[in-house]
Each structure stands twice: as structure tokens, then as C-alpha cells.
Structure 1
Amino acid sequence: MPKQFRWSDEIEPHKARTKEIIKQHPEIRTLIGRNPYTALVIVLCVALQLSLAYFLRDVSWWWIFIAAYLIGAFACHTLFVCIHECSHNLIFKNRTLNTISGIVANLPLVFPSSVSFQKYHLKHHSYQGVEALDADMPFRWEARLIDNHVIGKALWLLFYPVFQLLRPLRMTKEISIFDGWTLVNWIVQFSFLAAVIYFGGAKPTIFLVASFFFSIGLHPLGARWIQEHFLTHGEQETKSYYGPLNSVNLNVGFHNEHHDFPSVPWNKLPKIKKMAGAYYDHLGHHTSYTILLFQFLFDRKISIYSRTARSKRGK
């Protein structure tokens, strides 16, 4: 059972492989671009969540949580992926349009986060595992607090949004946490939430909150956070997921491919693996989020410490 992060003296592992793949497969450059149809996905998912919130306003409470777990969580997770696409400028060429798209996608997600995510997520790509710059990297106190108990890991997943909210605070020396767009995100989000509470009442509001927490928490979808960078396959830092949920999660499971080529939109990520299969077929990967969820909860060899940390920033 690990009691500290695995330490690496190397820079993040993707840049070197990207250069090698491009050298061997220059045709991959043709995949770089944007997918404006992602904006339609945002509109459809926001509309779905609002429609469900409306129709669930008079049902029994247990239906609220069932609908949130079985439907709302998937819609919210897809919206998170859309916000991720916005952070990489992969929907529109215009940066402002991507920011606005992210704010719209944020609406059913209850808490304002899209603008902040745009700021710190790109640091994760450049400085993977560097605690001061990678908001995906757990705190050391976070790993100590959760330890390796089943209940602790379950609570960690359930309240994962809280931990994720705290991590960017350690990056204030590197990025500006608050600016004009952050204020816009907050005003729009809290105005939307106030409207839901005023016109819909408790049940639509709880449905959105429950959908949000399930979408990135104690749910098979929450296993995505384990899949991406936890050390489930030896010392391999990044793992992809090649399972059926990629069809509704916009190929977010193709995580090695995304880190190697972050300028390729979600709909073309499988083509990277097809073109350069020799670089990906031998890598450890996952095919089931449900199996991975239970593996994380019950395997004492996996804890919050099962991550690679580094201080070398590289270039």
C-alpha cells in the first residue's frame, strides 16, 4: 500500500512521444482543428437537463435521485467534456466564443467552474504531476486524509468536486484565479441557479445538484479520474479507456491520445490510435469504468498516493 507519491525526475511524459509519432506519422497533423458541432451537443445536454428538471418537479423524491444517477449524471459528464473542449479552443476559432460556450455548458452544473477550468487545465498538460501547477494532482494532506480505507475512498469520490475546487488555490502565484470572465461566469451561473430555485423549487434544484455530484463522484463515471493518471498499470502515468461510454462521453477515454495531441477535437481522437496504433496498442488501458470503480474502492494497492509527482517543469 503506497504511503507517498511515486517520484519522477523526468519532465511530463507526453512531449517526447508526440514528437516521435509526428515524425513517423506526419498525417496526424491533418486531424488538428475544431469541431463546431460540439456547440450543438452543449445545447442538447443543457436542454435535456432543464427538461428533466421541469418534468421531475412533482414526482417522488426517490425518482429524483434515480433520474440523476441514470440520466443526469451522463448529461452532466458530457457537459464537463464540452467545457474541456472549450478550454483547448476546440469548438470555435474565436477564443471568446469558446469561453461563452463553456459558460453555457456550465449552467446545469450548479457551481461556476468553466472559466476557472480553462485557466488551470492547460497547466495540467504542460506540467503533469507538478504539484504547484497541476490541479489534477491531489494534495499531500488529501492523500493522508483519505488513506486507503474503502469508506474513505468512497467519500473522496462522492465529494471529489470539493477537493477539485480547493486545488487551484495553490496555483495563485502562477495564474490569476479571478478576472472579468470569472465574474461573468459567477453572475450567469448564480442567476441561473436562482431562477431554477424560484421557478422550480426544491426538486428540480436537488435533481441538478445530485446529477452534478454523481457525474464526477461516486458513480462509474467517477472512475474516469482513476483511469486517467492513477498508477493502475505499473509506472505508466496516463491510461486510456476504450469502452462503450466513450460513445456518450465524447471519446474522453482516449486520454493518452489527447495528451499527446491536445489540439485534436474529440471526434477525431480514435483516428490517432488507428493511425499510430504501434504507439498505443501495447499501453495499459481500461475497458470498464464499473470494474475500475470497484478496483479502486477495494484494492488496497491503489490509494490517492497512486500518482506520479515531479518538480522538474521542463519546457
Structure 2
Amino acid sequence: MINKTDFVYSEASEPHRIRTKKILKQFPQMRNLIGKNPATIFAIIGLVALQVVLAWVLRDQSWWWVFGAAYVIGAFADHALFVMIHECAHQLLFKGRSANRWAGIFANLPQIFPSSISFERYHIKHHSFQGVHELDADLPNRWEAKLINNSFFGKAIWLLFYPVFQVFRLSRLRELQTFDWWVVANLLVQVVFTTAIYYFMGWHALAFLLLSFSFSVGLHPLGARWVQEHYLTHSVEQETYSYYGNFNAVAFNVGFHNEHHDFPSIPWNKLPQIKKTAPEYYDTLYYHTSWTKLFFRFLFDREISLFNRILRKERGKVALTDVSKPDVEMEPATL
């Protein structure tokens, strides 16, 4: 067993830009998949309605029912809403940026904590500067990795309080704009919604929504998604991993993560077509087939710690172009 004390450093460029250019050259028809999916708004409306209805039904139920429903149903609904917020962050619903942001704010409602607008800021940087520690919020802090280390208890705590650890990462991302009127709007809408839930439904309903949020990103098989996407879980230094398991059916294909990084301008419903069109580029990569299996492996495998991430010190090693327009420069710092 190797007790890691630092991240894995790479001098190579992040892999997605290179693979995108190769795929587009060999399969130019892939461009036809790029576009918007306005029908996604109906999925958002349905998921928000589901969570509100469940909160209403559980308002007078025992705490056992509240916990059970949050773990078995609410977690999956909230996780799906995270995927919807992710779609909005990439402007994959409507042509207008404002319309996508309002859709993201609406999808954020049952999750209680206002995060949709902030997620957009940090997530787009993750794509533009993958592996650059001062700009990629998906990377853990050094103190975070040292604190959690590779112990079962530490990793369980990390999953349980995953949103809290993410908040602590924001202080190192000093180049990003963290506050504007969109953030205020997100906050105000969330305050009104949360107050209404408490006033009309009570503590049990509010607790159901809070627990659903916690389980959707934490100590739950769904929490393995955060490990699946970029943590080094094989002997090779593969930077991004996809998941091709059954949960994709209720997670809007979010497991197709290599495909998404290669083509972030393609909406969720068409991600499987990327792999189907260019299988030779994805079948040769390592991938996961079970979030549940990965969840337990992450907890018990001492070889996996938060240091199992690839970092790069040079920003120039990161491709700063729009993959939907491979020959056009973009400004990754602008949002």
C-alpha cells in the first residue's frame, strides 16, 4: 500500500481537446449532434414537482418515512436536478443565456441551497482549465486531501459533508467572479421557496428536501459519481472516466463523462450517440459499470485517496478553445 502525500502531476495537455479534433476529423457528422434541447425544461418541471409533492405527502409522516423516502427517492430526484443544472450551465436548453440561468435557478429550488449560478461559474472553468489547481474547483484542496487521507472513516466523512468541502475550495479560486446580481437572484428565489415550504408544510417536509440534497451528493451510491469522473482508480493515469451503468437511465446520461468533456455542446440526450458513432475512441478507455461497487471500493480501498487526481502546473498545457468550433479561439475566463 502506498500512502500518497501529493497529487499526480502531468506535463501533457488535458486529453479532451486532442481527442475532439481527431473525432471531428474522422467523423465530421458528429457536429450534427451539437445544439439545444428545450424539452429538458419539462424534465426539470417534473422533478421539481415530484420533490414538492413528496415533501407535502411526508409533512405528517414519521421520521423513518422521511429518511427512507429521501434516501430511496429524493436522492435520485435531486441528483437528476443537479444534472439539469449542469445542462443549464452549458446553455444546452435555450438560445439565451438568461433563459438557461432562470431554468437552472428553478431546478435548484428543491435542493434548498442556492448553488446553480455559482456552479455555472466554477464548472465552466473546470472544463477550460482542467487540472489547474487555482482554477479547477473540482480538485480538492491540499489540506483536504491530507486530512481525509485514505482511511475509511475519512472518506466516509468526506462524502457525508461533500458540499461543505466544496465551499472551502472557493477561497483558492481567487480569479473567479463569485458575486453579482444573478447570485443574489438565486439566493432570493431560494429563500422565498424555502420559507414557503416551511410555512405551508412544516419541518418534516423541509427535512425531506434537506436530506434528499445531502444523500444525492454524499454518503450514497450516487456519491460515487464524484469519484468516477476524475479520480485515478486504475493503474494508468487516465484523467477522465465514464460510467455506463443502469443509473444513467435516471441520471440523464451524466455517466458519459469522457463524451461530455470531449463535446460539452452536445445535450444529455445525445451523449450516448457520441460513443456509438466513435466507439474506437471510448471502448479503449477504462470505464465504470457500477456506482454502488465504486462507492464501496472508494471507502475500503486504501490505494484510493483524494490525492488520486492529475494536476498540471502550466496553464498553457490546457486547451483553451471551444470544442464545438474547433478552429475558433474562445475566452475561457469570460462568463
Please state which band the TM-score falls in when normalised by the shorter chain.
over 0.9
Aligned partners of 1:254, 1:165: CA distance in 2, in Å? 26
Q: 1:28-58 deviations in whole A, cap 9, x for unaligned?
A: 0000001111100100000000000000011
Aligned to 1:89: 91
Give SS of 1:36's match: coil
Q: Aligned-pair distance for 1:168?
A: 2.5
Contact 1:31 1:268 in 2 (8 A): yes
In 2, the alpha carbon distance for the partners of 1:16 and 1:108 equals 38
Alpha-carbon distance in 1 for matches of 2:150, 2:301: 9
Partner of 2:231: 230
Q: Residue type of the partner of 1:263?
A: S
1:146–1:153: 8 Å Cα contact kept in structure 2?
yes
Alpha-carbon separation, structure 2, partners of 1:253 and 1:246: 6
Within 5 Å, give how 1:30-49 maps onto structure 2: 30-49=32-51
- Report what 1:13 is aligned to: 15
**Distance in 2 separating the partners of 1:39 and 1:313:** 36
Q: Deviations over 1:82-103 (max 9, x none)?
A: 0000010001111100000000
For 1:212 and 1:158, locate their aligned partners in 2 and report how far apart those are by CA, in whole Å: 11
**Residue 165 of structure 1, CA deviation:** 2.0
Q: How does 1:162-181 map to 2 (within 5 A)?
A: 162-172=164-174, 174-181=175-182
Within a 5 Å distance, the mapping from 1:129-144 to structure 2 comes to 129-144=131-146
Residue aligning to 1:152: 154
SS at match of 1:23: helix
Amino acid corresponding to residue 242 of structure 1 in structure 2: Y
Q: Which amino acid aligns with 1:185?
A: N
> For residues 237 and 271 of structure 1, what CA distance do their matches in structure 2 show?
22
The answer to whether the 8 Å contact 1:12/1:126 transfers is no
TM-score (norm: length of structure 2): 0.92
Flag structure 2 segments of 5+ consecutive residues without an equivalent. 321-335
- Conserved? CA contact 1:132–1:170, under 8 Å: yes
- State the distance in 2 between where 1:308 and 1:124 align: 13
Q: Are 1:11 and 1:313, in contact at CA under 8 Å, matched by a contact in 2?
A: no
The 1-side partners of 2:25 and 2:167 are apart by 39
- State the distance in 2 between where 1:253 and 1:301 align: 23
Instruction: Write the distance in 1 (CA, Å) between the matches of 2:170 and 2:97.
Output: 22
C-alpha RMSD over aligned residues: 0.8
Secondary structure of residue in 2 paired with 1:57 = helix
Q: Retained in 2: the 8 A contact 1:196–1:204?
A: yes
Deviations 1:242-290 (A, max 9, x none): 0001011000000000000000000000000000000000100000000
Q: Provide the residue aligned with 2:331 in structure 1.
A: none
Distance 2:116 2:13 in 1: 28
1:68-95 Cα distance to aligned partner (Å, 9 max, x none): 0000000000000000000100011111
Matches within 5 A, 1:17-32: 17-32=19-34
Percent of pairs with identical residues: 61
User: 1:4 aligns to what SS in structure 2?
Assistant: coil
Does the 8 Å CA contact 1:11/1:312 hold for their aligned counterparts? no
- Deviation for aligned residue 1:164: 1.5
Task: Give 1:145 deviation, angstroms.
Answer: 0.7
Query: Hey, what's the Cα distance between the residues in 2 that align with 1:69 and 1:311?
Result: 40
Residues of 1 paired with 2:168 and 2:208: CA distance? 24
Separation in 2 of the partners of 1:29 and 1:105?
A: 28
Counterpart in the other structure of 1:212: 213
Aligned to 1:4: 6
**Displacement of 1:120:** 1.3
2:310 corresponds to which residue? 308
- TM-score, with length taken from structure 1: 0.98
Unaligned segments of structure 1, at least 5 residues = none
